Each structure stands twice: as C-alpha cells, then as structure tokens.
Amino acid sequence: MKTRVRCACWMVTAFLTASLLVYPAFAASTFPDVDASEEYAEAIEYLNSVGIMVGDDQGNFNPDKPVSRAEMATIICRLLGKTENLPTSAQFTDVPVSHWANGYISKAAELGVVDGYGNKKFGPSDTVKYEDALTMIVRAMGQTEYALELGGYPDGFMIAATELGYTNWISAEAGDFLTRWQVAIITSNALIY
C-alpha cells in the first residue's frame, strides 16, 4: 500500500511540476461571469486551460451552477486523460447509449472511479454530493486503499480527501450539493497535493 501511495504521489508531483512550467499567472478571467479576484478564479482558469473544465456555448463558466453526476464523471475522465475511444454501455438503465455522457460514465465506471446507486441506476442528472465528488477524486488519484483504511465510504473518503489537501479552500459537508467553482477547487487541489 505504501508503495502505491508513493507512486501515486510521485506521479501527481511530476504532473504538477510539469504543469507549473506552463501555468501562466492569470491577470483576467477568460469567462465574463468569473471575477478574477474570486478565490476560485485561478483554479477555474487553469482547469479550463488544460481542458478539464470548460465553459458553456455562451462563453460563461457558471461558477454557481450545480454539477451533475454525469458532469463529474466527465471531469474525472478529463482529469485522467481518458477522453478518446470512450466505450458506450448499457451498464446503467438510466444512462442510455444515446446520453451525451454515456462514454464518460462508462469509462469512469470501468476505471472503478464511479458507482451507481444500485439497481442499475446512476442518476446522471442528479447533483453530485460532496461525499460522492470526494470519493470520485480520491479514487481517481489512486488513494482508494488509504480511504478504505480510514473507514471507506463515505467518511473514509472524506477524511482522506481532507488529509490529502483536496478540500482546502472550500467549506462543505456530507449531503451538500457542489457547484462548479467548488468542484474546480477540489479538482485543482487534487493536482497540486
């Protein structure tokens, strides 16, 4: 377990170091609805610049908009660089093959990053809860065993995310629905820490 944690930490550190070499200091926001003085503006700008989180077709980021479970699966796949040749499946009865995020959800499930609710349901349009977003991020960053040692879902994953620094600069608790700016901070923290 320690070797896996060290390996995952080394990979994240290497990625972060490489990213910092090309990470510009953003003076103004790319998005008209994101004030550059907001604490989350830099995280949003960075994630947009590397294609992990993007704006809408109007050019807005919508920082206060809730994030759906389908969107979270998409963010996770982009974070992991898993965006090509995505499989489609009927694994979840509420995610038809024609659903815009079927490939992302299928890939995230294949990678063991997302689960459904049981009964073959995923809830793609449901707003992602704090504990579920943290569970997905912790799994994506290769820290599942650590979270399981701390008690598993949901508390062990929330504790692991906090101890790993993923929750720095946000205030939320189990059951809270997350917005795009909160997910941007958690995601960028996962790349940093």
- In this predicted model, what pLDDT tens digit does every residue of 13-60 receive, in sequence order? 444 444 444 444 444 689 999 999 999 999 999 999 999 999 999 999
Q: Which two tokens stand for residue 141?
A: 């960053």
CA pair distance 9, 108, nearest whole angstrom: 21
pLDDT of the residue at 58:
96
The pLDDT, as a whole number, for residue 29 is 80
Cα–Cα distance, 70 to 107 (Å, whole number): 12
Please give the model's pTM, rounded to 2 decimal places: 0.85
| Predicted local confidence at residue 133, as pLDDT | 98
- pLDDT, averaged across the chain: 89
Give the separation between CA 24 and CA 49, rounded to whole angstroms. Answer: 9
Give tens-digit pLDDT for 125-167.
999 999 999 999 999 999 999 999 999 999 999 999 999 999 9
Distances (CA, A) of 101 to 10, 116, 121: 31, 14, 14
Handedness of CA 109, 16, 179, 34 (dihedral sign): negative
pLDDT over threshold 70, residue 11: no
Beta strands in the chain (DSSP E): none
| pLDDT recorded at residue 57 | 95
One-letter amino acid identity for 90?
A
